[in-house]
Structures are given as C-alpha cells and as structure tokens.
Amino acid sequence: MADAHVSAAPVAHQFDDFQQQTVADTFGMWLFLATEVLFFGGLFCGYSLYRNLYFEAFTAGSHLLKIQYGAFYTVLLICSSLTMALGVRAAQLRQKHALTIYLILTWIMGFAFVYVKLRYEWYGDYLEGLIPGVNWAPSRESLEMVNHFHATLPHLALFFIFYFCMTGLHALHMIVGLGLLTTLLIFTQQGKVTGGNYNWVEIVGLYWHFVDIVWIFLFPLLYLIGGRYV
C-alpha cells in the first residue's frame, strides 16, 4: 500500500522521487519549528527570570486569571491533537471522508480556543482593567489580591505584559494553524492529499502539535503559580 501511495503522489521537478520530497518537506518543517523553539524560548527565559525576581507579584497575577479558562483550553488542545493525528492516519489510508471529518473537528476546536480567549477571557481582563498600556486600572478585587501577596502594581503589570505577549503570540500561531487547516480541507475536497501526497497533512500536523505543546507549558507557568490548583 505504501508503494501505491508513493507512485500516485505528485513529485516536484527538483526531487528524484516522492520519498526524497517527503524527507525534504519534513526536514524543512522541523527546521522551522526549531526557530520557533528559539523564539518562544526567549520569552520563556525572560518570564522565568522576572518570575523569580518578583514571585509575589506574579503569584498575585496568576490568581487574577480564570483557571477554568486555562483548563478548558488545555483539554481542547489535547483533543485537537488527537483528531489531527487521526487525520494524518486517514490521509495515509486515503480515507477522504474520515480525513474531512477529523480536519473539521480540529478546526472547530482551534476556533473555539481563539474565540473563547478573545471574546470572553481577554474581554473580561479588559473590563477588569488588567491590560497594561491600554486600560491599566485594576479593580478593587485585584488590588486586594496584590495587597494579600505583598506585591506591587508595577510588578503586577509586568506579569500581565508577559501574559498578554505570550498568550497573544500563541493565539496568533493558532490563527495561522486555522488557515493551514482550511487549506488542507480545500485540498482534501480536490483530492490532493488523499491521492498519495499525505505529507502535507503530516507537516501541518507537526505544526499543530507544536502549538499545542507550547500551551501545555504556558498553562502551568501562567495559571498555576504558587501551588494554585483550584
């Protein structure tokens, strides 16, 4: 069956065969993800440094976040990774209908992540005056939390700067992923990814899994500071 996949797949003129093209495409994606690791790594290092310096303020900031949202996003992305993996398998087996379903499910969960974050969580933060540089005017409840942890407002603002930068960058990657999934859905209906060139689905799957893994790190770093589990 694998040979049939290879023989039916389109091969670009610069490659000798489908296997060489697959290796080159996959290697290119891994190189891209390596640059993404360096990009996010800088933010993680900066965040870790200031978190150690101003732990009380970062703990107060974490307690001002809605942990229910973070847990919801985590479950959503884990499930989307499963449907993406099943989609890759369906593409390898040339199961067009199954691939379409798995891609749609992945897209829906990715869209739900972005929509809930922007429409509900971030908008709620805006109403509470927790966006530095936009409407930084913490509510009475927020000030009580700051006083409880003996923190300072400038250091609390620093936490939210990291929070919005890191989660905003992650949300941007999710939006890019939604665009890639939409493209795959179009290609699927055209028969381009179920006619042998399933490597496109595998590459998008790598990107999607990477974005999900980044969130797995963001969730405890931002929402679970100071032993906060409820």
Please indicate, yes or no, whether the overall pTM of this predicted structure exceeds 0.75: yes
**Residue-level pLDDT at 22:** 75
Spell out the domains of the chain, with CATH numbers in brackets: 40-223 (1.20.120.80)
93, two tokens: 């087996």
What whole-number percentage of the chain has pLDDT above 70? 90
The pLDDT tens digits of the residues spanning 166-187 come to 999 999 999 999 999 999 999 9
Residue 4 pLDDT > 70:
no
The pLDDT tens digits of the residues spanning 15-54 come to 666 677 778 778 889 999 999 999 999 999 999 999 999 9
Task: For residue 90, give the nearest of 193, 211, 204, 209 by alpha carbon.
Answer: 193
Residues 6+ apart with CB under 8 A from 117: 69, 73, 167, 171
Strand, coil or helix: what is 94?
coil
The pLDDT tens digits of the residues spanning 184-230 come to 999 999 888 876 678 889 999 999 999 999 999 999 999 998 765 54
Residue that the structure tokens 């409840």 belong to: 141
